[in-house]
Amino acid sequence: MRPDTSHWRDNASYDYFDTLPIEGLAWECLRRHEPYQRHYQALLTTRAEKAPFHPETQRLWGLRFPGQAGFVRLGARRSVVA
């Protein structure tokens, strides 16, 4: 389950990071996080890896924002949904 870290000093190993969208970068960081790895292993053990996470779990791993989306004015003439 752990990623191969034998080449962690090789800059070329991280070139793909430059093309990742923000969600991809977040995933790369999350999947390396040991508490998340333990949580995922528990899901595999109970065969629940395809079940959706509970809302509390989604917030725990940063998969959902803590508040509701709303309109924000940033000095523009129109509202922006944030």
pLDDT digits (tens, 9 = 90+) for 12-28: 878 888 898 888 888 88
* Whether pTM exceeds 0.75: no
Residue pair 71/79 in contact (Cβ under 8 Å)? The answer is: yes
C-alpha to C-alpha distances, 55 to 3, 27, 33, 38, 46, nearest whole angstrom:
27, 18, 20, 19, 19
List Cβ neighbours of 81 (8 Å cut-off, separation of 6 or more). 69, 70, 71, 72
Where helices occur in the chain by DSSP H, the ranges are 22-31, 34-45, 55-60
Q: Given pLDDT bands bounded at 50, 70 and 90, which one contains residue 78? A: low
The whole-number pLDDT of residue 72 equals: 65
User: Over the stretch 27-66, which tens digit does the pLDDT of each residue have?
Assistant: 888 888 899 899 989 988 998 888 888 888 888 888 776 6
